[in-house]
Amino acid sequence: MKVVFLALGATRRPMVISESARVVAEGGTATILIERRSSWADDSFPGGVEIVELRELVRRYRPDAVTRWLFRFPERFFRACAPGPLRRGGDRLYRAFRWRVARPLDKRLARRYRSDAAAVRRKALRQAVLSGARPDLVVVADAASMAPAAALASKGPGRALDLAFYGPVGAATSEPATGVRD
């Protein structure tokens, strides 16, 4: 079972850590999506839990079309043109292309595709949660994660995301308080 914990507010750190440890102990994979590592500096995470920092994802965000045209297609081209013993030369040419052409173009284009900070944040969040195999469950751990979770659930392509919301601190927080399915 693949479980993603949205803990952007870092208000329920002990609960998120214990629940992610339980998921890993039961043979699943747990990913904790946090805003920044400094909020979690005093906490230790169990082995096997993946930590994803949203701030880093936003900083490195690049649309798929830019990635495809500036990096993937040229890499495949240089690999196809330099097979076998010429591979080293092709790799060197690709690194030079990436350094001299692709990176400067990407920096100039970044001004455009990163100009709307809220849209970039939503897209980076969508890539982080929905990349690869879709999660079986998305656990919304705190209030700061509610709006991003609603945006994920409302526009999710394909099958609906299973969302679980944790109740107030005084309630029994070891189990999800509410399960919502679109």
Q: Kindly report, residue by residue over 151-161, the tens digit of the pLDDT.
A: 887 765 556 67
DSSP-derived 3-state class of residue 122 = helix
Q: Could you tell me the two tokens for 119? A: 């849209």
The verdict on domain 2-60+117-181 having CATH code 3.40.630 is no
> What is the average per-residue pLDDT within 29-57?
87
Domain ranges of the chain: 2-60+117-181, 64-113
| Higher pLDDT pick, 110 / 168 | 110
Q: How many CB atoms lie within 10 A of CB 97?
A: 17
User: Can you give the pTM of this predicted structure?
Assistant: 0.70
